[in-house]
């Protein structure tokens, strides 16, 4: 592929993406109400109270309390010109990186591992960029804004996860592997079956995570800029394919570095503005939270569902204590296990350790990533609590019940406090950062999946390792293209699906299938082919199976029971002489529809979950380890034992690693 062709392809990619986003202004007036249902009330609330007869008399009654949230809802609409201009700048910069990277990518080592020439500092920023997904950026701050301390627990879990990576897998994996998870596992085992099973696991984890990111990208763009969901998915897909197919690991690394820098800059700026509102006094900041009447009212309603009555300062203090969201201690432990151990088994994270020239650089990259990620999650804590104080939980819920828009709403309001145009600029910048975040993460996932198929399956299983550099790079590029297209198709198909459980699936498979076999392969002399296959297969099946019968799935019967409670509560409210607000009426209408499905079952044919925890880690991780150990003991292999000394020396010294290439 000539440099001229690469420039042409990159230019076409930018043109297609720009054309896709340019379609949006013609449809702008209809999009806000047509695409995301949660935004419709924002635009129609003042004029709509007369629609349902029972709402008309009380149309004006709730106005004083509801006015602030409604204003925020109307404000959460990005300025299209500013936002699309920022998108264009970011796309232009990253495509420039791709063109440069394409000229550097000539061998399989360049494509999969950037020739091993990424420095420890660069790799640390890239790991942070790979790890800090849109879920981290938007989801965690949203959870904190609605559930206080419990949202912060997610931050702690993801930060502590890198201690496991640092102490257990970073240096040994970098020394023992080459490009993929299959390289690490096949060194002293029968390579063909091990590579095949490792590739299937890698593709499964990458697909689960990729689908969640793609759907998030589509819905985010539809909600904020009015770009149609399908157009957003196709635009993101074209860009991610371009990054990976032409630039390989070098381009993906630099896109992740740029994204991490943008994300930290945006989070730091907003955090400073939040602290400035509190006079840079943390004690006053938390006193404001405890004494905030909106937060107190929100917490009192949350705990009332558990039969607890709290009011005033007691309710405000409860916001800073655990148990509002993660009510079961076992669920908290299981989630912590999956986060801490799952990260060390994520294929796209493991791949990053093959990009550095030395084991020392691998350790340095993890330490730097820990500081960046740790700093970022501290900032998300400030953003979450700051959103609760400045926007109120009720205002956040009125835009998105899950709280995912809290950071973006906060950016717009804090900017508008400086000057109206600054609100639009801040929101546009944060939207662009979220867009760059999704691009960086999906590029890493596509690269991991394509490496598993092209390197493990095609080159080492089908071609038995006999493929020249040109053929290997071509196989990698073709596979990346196919994986990217499949990702776009799945994203389009999953528009109306609840994909929240897919992230749980990804971490569950990584912690239950991948991690046990990686750890045992590196540190247990007797570990062999049977252990790898049994650990991967049983751990993966157990984790997926438990998620499919857990509360993550939708159970119409349970939904109907909750809906009946809402209907009864609204009837009591009306019977007491109170007039239902428009929000109440919409809740009743939805509840009535949910009640109609009371005889339905989950996609697994169940009326209620068999496994009561949302995350299966507490059960599936031990199952994965036990399966790997039993498989090894039942089918011993002397050759695997004899080769352990070579693996041990290699993972501690790095002997046998290819010479690095500077980037």
HSE-up of residue 553 (Cα within 13 Å, Cβ side): 23
Residue 660's nearest CA partner among 354, 451, 352 is 354
Residue 141's nearest CA partner among 498, 340, 402 is 402
Q: How far apart are the first and last CA of the chain?
A: 20
* d(C-alpha 411, C-alpha 58), whole Å: 33
User: Model-level pTM?
Assistant: 0.76
**Given this model, what pLDDT does residue 23 score?**
37
Beta carbons of 93 and 259 less than 8 angstroms apart: no
Q: What share of the chain is helix, strand, coil (3-state, %, to 5)?
A: 80, 0, 20
Q: In Å, how far from its chain's centre is CA 479?
A: 23
Beta carbons of 116 and 356 less than 8 angstroms apart: yes
**Given this model, what pLDDT does residue 26 score?**
35
**Given this model, what pLDDT does residue 193 score?**
92
Q: For the chain (length 663 residues), average pLDDT per consecutive 10?
A: 40 37 34 32 32 32 37 59 88 89 86 86 90 77 89 76 76 78 86 91 87 82 80 87 89 91 92 92 92 92 76 90 82 82 84 84 88 88 92 88 86 90 90 84 88 88 84 89 89 74 78 91 92 94 88 79 80 81 78 78 80 87 96 92 84 59 41
Domains of the chain as residue ranges with CATH: 3-34+76-500 (1.20.1730.10)
CA 335, 221, 266, 239 torsion: positive or negative?
Answer: positive
User: Number of helices (H) and strands (E), helices first, in the chain?
Assistant: 33, 0
Q: 550: helix, coil or strand?
A: coil
* d(C-alpha 430, C-alpha 265), whole Å: 10
* d(C-alpha 300, C-alpha 324), whole Å: 10
* d(C-alpha 213, C-alpha 491), whole Å: 9
């Amino acid at each position: 592929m000539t440099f001229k062709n690469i420039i042409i392809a990159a230019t076409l990619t930018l043109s297609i993406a720009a054309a896709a986003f340019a379609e949006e202004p013609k449809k702008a007036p209809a999009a806000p109400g047509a695409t995301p249902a949660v935004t419709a009330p924002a635009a129609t609330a003042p004029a709509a109270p007369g629609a349902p007869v029972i709402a008309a008399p009380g149309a004006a009654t709730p106005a004083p309390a509801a006015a602030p949230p409604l204003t925020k809802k109307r404000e959460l609409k990005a300025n299209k010109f500013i936002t699309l201009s920022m998108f264009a700048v970011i796309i232009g910069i990253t495509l420039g990186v791709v063109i440069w990277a394409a000229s550097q990518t000539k061998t399989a080592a360049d494509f999969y591992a950037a020739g091993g020439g990424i420095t420890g500092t660069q790799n640390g920023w890239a790991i942070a960029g790979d790890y800090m997904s849109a879920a981290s950026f938007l989801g965690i701050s949203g959870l904190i804004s609605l559930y206080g301390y419990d949202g912060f627990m997610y931050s702690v879990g993801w930060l502590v996860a890198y201690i496991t990576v640092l102490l257990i897998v970073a240096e040994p994996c970098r020394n023992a592997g080459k490009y993929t998870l299959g390289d690490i596992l096949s060194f002293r085992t029968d390579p063909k079956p091990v590579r095949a099973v490792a590739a299937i696991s890698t593709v499964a984890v990458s697909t689960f995570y990729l689908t969640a990111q793609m759907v998030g990208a589509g819905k985010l763009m539809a909600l904020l800029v009015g770009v149609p969901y399908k157009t957003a998915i196709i635009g993101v897909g074209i860009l991610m394919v371009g990054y990976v197919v032409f630039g390989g690991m070098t381009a993906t690394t630099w896109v992740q570095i740029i994204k991490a820098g943008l994300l930290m800059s945006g989070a730091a700026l907003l955090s400073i503005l939040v602290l400035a509102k509190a006079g840079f006094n943390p004690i006053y900041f938390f006193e404001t939270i405890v004494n905030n009447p909106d937060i107190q009212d929100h917490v009192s309603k949350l705990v009332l569902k558990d039969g607890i009555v709290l009011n005033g300062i007691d309710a405000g203090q409860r916001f800073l204590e655990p148990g509002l969201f993660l009510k079961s201690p076992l669920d908290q432990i299981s989630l912590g296990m999956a986060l801490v151990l799952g990260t060390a088994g994520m294929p796209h994270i493991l791949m990053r350790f093959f990009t550095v020239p030395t084991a020392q650089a691998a350790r340095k990259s993890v330490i730097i990533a820990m500081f960046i990620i740790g700093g970022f999650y501290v900032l998300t804590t400030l953003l979450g609590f700051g959103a609760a104080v400045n926007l109120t939980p009720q205002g956040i819920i009125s835009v998105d019940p899950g709280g995912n828009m809290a950071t973006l709403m906060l950016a717009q309001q804090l900017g508008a406090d400086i000057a109206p145009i600054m609100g639009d600029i801040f929101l546009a910048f944060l939207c662009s950062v979220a867009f760059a975040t999704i691009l960086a993460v999906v590029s890493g996932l596509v690269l991991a999946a394509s490496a598993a198929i092209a390197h493990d399956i095609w080159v080492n299983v089908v071609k038995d390792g006999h493929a020249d550099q040109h053929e290997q790079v071509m196989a990698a590029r073709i596979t990346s293209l196919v994986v990217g297209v499949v990702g776009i198709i799945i994203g389009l198909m999953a528009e109306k699906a609840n994909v929240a459980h897919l992230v749980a699936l990804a971490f569950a498979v990584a912690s239950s299938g991948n991690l046990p076999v990686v750890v045992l392969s590196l540190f247990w002399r007797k570990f062999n082919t049977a252990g790898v296959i049994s650990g991967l297969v049983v751990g993966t099946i157990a984790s997926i199976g438990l998620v499919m019968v857990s509360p993550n799935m939708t159970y119409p019967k349970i939904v109907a029971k909750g809906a009946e409670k809402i209907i009864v509560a609204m009837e009591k409210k009306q019977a007491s002489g109170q007039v239902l607000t428009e929000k109440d009426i919409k809740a009743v209408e939805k509840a009535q529809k949910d009640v109609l499905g009371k005889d339905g079952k989950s996609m697994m044919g169940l009326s209620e979950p068999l496994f009561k925890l949302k995350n299966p880690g507490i059960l599936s991780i031990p199952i994965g380890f036990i399966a790997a150990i039993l498989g090894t003991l039942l089918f011993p292999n002397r050759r695997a034992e004899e080769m352990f000394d070579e693996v041990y020396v290699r993972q501690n010294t790095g002997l046998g690693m290819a010479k690095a290439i500077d980037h």
